[in-house]
């Protein structure tokens, strides 16, 4: 158990790890109070199961050596479900670790189920249990106890063995291609930062009215800019519900704003209200003929979707793979609508599921039940 708190110790560790074939990585952070998650701890493990914790909050440490290590092409960086880790690293460095391996994606390709947890893999593959009583630790507080450091490091010390076993299983079953696309998705930098004028797409509302959508987009963009500038959660400025309600009955001035009924405006100060009013005016004045409405996706027949899900689950069980790795809810909906350009109808996914789904959609096969088993023929 080791906590690194200064640059000298960190440089020594990075020199020690620079010739490893792979290293295991995890992070601890807090995001409840911030727009950009605050990095509070970096855990590093070597190929032998040794682990270290690095304290980014120490005044005596420069993290550049570890970030340089993350970019070395000769070292595979092993993570488990790294999306949030990469969000933090990207916002600090504008880079993504490369090359990487995700044990969650690998486990899904090896039949461990959908979005399998690290704790489950430790229990199932290693035969050990992780004490998760500290999972809700406020990692920003210092000093950290020995128990907290030991718990954090355990998130990487088991990872080396899990990585090696999953790699062996994937190679044995020739499933490298099955997880390559999933892992490559993590290199898309757009998923780690929300552009202000894309923020509206995350808001739930029911309307095809271009004017209303335009106002929602403008207010959401303004909120996103404020949240990013002040580094506070967007809902701390005002909640989604306020945006949708205002868009349907937009105030023209502060008096109209203050007279709105059914809204909790306690946390919205006058300057923010003025910004919202300006956003409303922009939304109402813009020419939005080219605004693409993608919020209300066409829904296929529920019955047809459920039948396709049966085919999907059957294919997943037959191939001992997570159904989520083959197709998601949107894929199933698109197939039910008769669309062809669907991820689940290409490559290896077509072989294990897409071909059967296509044959069913064209009436070439049927589904039967025989002695409690599903027969697709």
Going by pLDDT thresholds of 50, 70 and 90, the confidence category of residue 136 is confident
In a domain, 292, yes or no: no
Cα 83 from Cα 104, distance rounded (Å): 11
Contact 24, 12 (CB under 8 A): no
354 shares its domain with 369:
yes
Tell whether 42 and 124 lie within a shared domain. yes
Q: Do 203 and 313 reside in the same domain of the chain? A: no
Confidence band (pLDDT; 50, 70, 90) for 133?
confident
What's the whole-number mean pLDDT along residues 81-96?
Answer: 96
- CATH number of the domain encompassing residue 342: 1.10.150
Same domain, 136 and 41: yes
**Boundary (domain end) residue, out of 126, 160, 192:** 192
From 228, 251, 285, give the residue that closes a domain: 285
Torsion sign (Cα): 26, 29, 32, 37: negative
Question: How many percent of the chain have pLDDT more than 70?
Answer: 95
Q: Grade residue 186 by pLDDT with cuts at 50, 70 and 90.
A: very high
Domain that holds residue 64: 3-192
Report residue 272's pLDDT band, with 50, 70 and 90 as the boundaries: confident
The per-residue pLDDT for 343 is 94
Q: Which pLDDT band holds residue 135 (cuts at 50, 70, 90)?
A: confident
Q: Residue 242 pLDDT more than 80?
A: yes
DSSP classification of residue 115: T
pLDDT grade, residue 289 (50/70/90)?
Answer: low
Q: Are residues 73 and 206 in the same domain?
A: no
Domain end residue (candidates: 285, 311, 330): 285
Q: How many domains does the chain have?
A: 3
Tell whether 28 and 175 lie within a shared domain: yes
CATH number at residue 119: 3.30.420.10
pLDDT-based confidence at residue 294 (cuts at 50, 70, 90): low
* Helix pair angle (210-230, 270-285), 10° resolution: 140
Q: Is residue 355 part of a domain?
A: yes
Quick one: pLDDT at residue 373?
Answer: 78
Percentage of the chain modeled with pLDDT above 90? 75
Q: Do 261 and 317 fall within a single domain?
A: no
- Whole-model pTM over 0.85: yes
Q: What is the pLDDT of residue 209?
A: 87
Please give the Cα distance from 366 to 344 (Å, whole number). 20
Query: At residue 295, does pLDDT exceed 60?
Result: no
55 with 144, same domain? yes
Average pLDDT over residues 115-133: 92
**263 and 329 part of one domain:** no
Residues 257, 316, single domain; the answer is no
Domain contains 106: yes
Total Cβ atoms within 10 A of residue 123 = 14
Instruction: Look at the alpha carbons of 331, 332, 337, 342 in this order and tell me if their dihedral is positive or negative.
Output: positive
Helix (H) or strand (E) run with residue 163 in it: helix 159-172
């Amino acid at each position: 158990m080791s906590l690194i708190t200064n640059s000298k110790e960190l440089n020594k560790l990075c020199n020690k790890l620079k010739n490893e074939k792979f290293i295991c990585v995890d992070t601890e952070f807090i995001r409840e109070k911030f727009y950009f998650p605050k990095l509070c701890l970096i855990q590093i493990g070597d190929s032998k199961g040794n682990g270290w914790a690095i304290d980014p909050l120490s005044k005596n440490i420069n993290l550049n050596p570890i970030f340089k290590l993350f970019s070395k092409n000769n070292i595979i960086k092993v993570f488990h479900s790294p999306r949030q880790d990469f969000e933090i690293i990207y916002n600090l460095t504008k880079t993504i670790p490369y090359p990487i391996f995700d044990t969650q994606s690998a486990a899904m390709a090896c039949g461990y189920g959908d979005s399998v947890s690290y704790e489950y893999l430790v229990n199932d593959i290693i035969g050990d249990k992780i004490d998760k009583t500290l999972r809700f630790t406020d990692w920003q507080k210092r000093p950290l106890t020995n128990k907290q450091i030991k718990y954090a490091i355990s998130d990487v010390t088991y990872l080396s063995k899990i990585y090696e076993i999953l790699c062996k299983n994937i190679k044995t079953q020739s499933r490298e291609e099955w997880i390559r696309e999933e892992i490559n998705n993590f290199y898309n930098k757009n998923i780690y930062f929300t552009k202000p004028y894309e923020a509206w797409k995350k808001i739930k509302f029911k309307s095809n009215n271009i004017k209303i959508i335009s106002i929602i987009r403008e207010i959401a963009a303004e909120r996103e800019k404020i949240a990013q500038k002040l580094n506070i959660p967007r809902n701390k400025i005002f909640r989604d519900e306020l945006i949708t309600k205002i868009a349907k009955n937009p105030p023209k001035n502060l008096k109209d704003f203050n007279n709105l009924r059914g809204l909790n405006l306690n946390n919205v100060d006058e300057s923010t209200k003025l910004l919202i009013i300006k956003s409303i005016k922009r939304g109402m004045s813009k020419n939005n003929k080219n605004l693409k409405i993608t919020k209300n996706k066409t829904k296929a027949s529920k019955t047809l979707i459920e039948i396709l899900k049966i085919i999907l689950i059957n294919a997943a069980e037959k191939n001992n793979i997570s159904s989520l790795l083959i197709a998601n809810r949107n894929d199933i909906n698109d197939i039910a609508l008769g669309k062809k350009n669907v991820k689940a109808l290409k490559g290896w996914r077509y072989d294990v599921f897409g071909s059967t789904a296509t044959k069913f959609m064209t009436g070439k096969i049927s589904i039967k039940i025989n002695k409690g088993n599903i027969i697709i023929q």
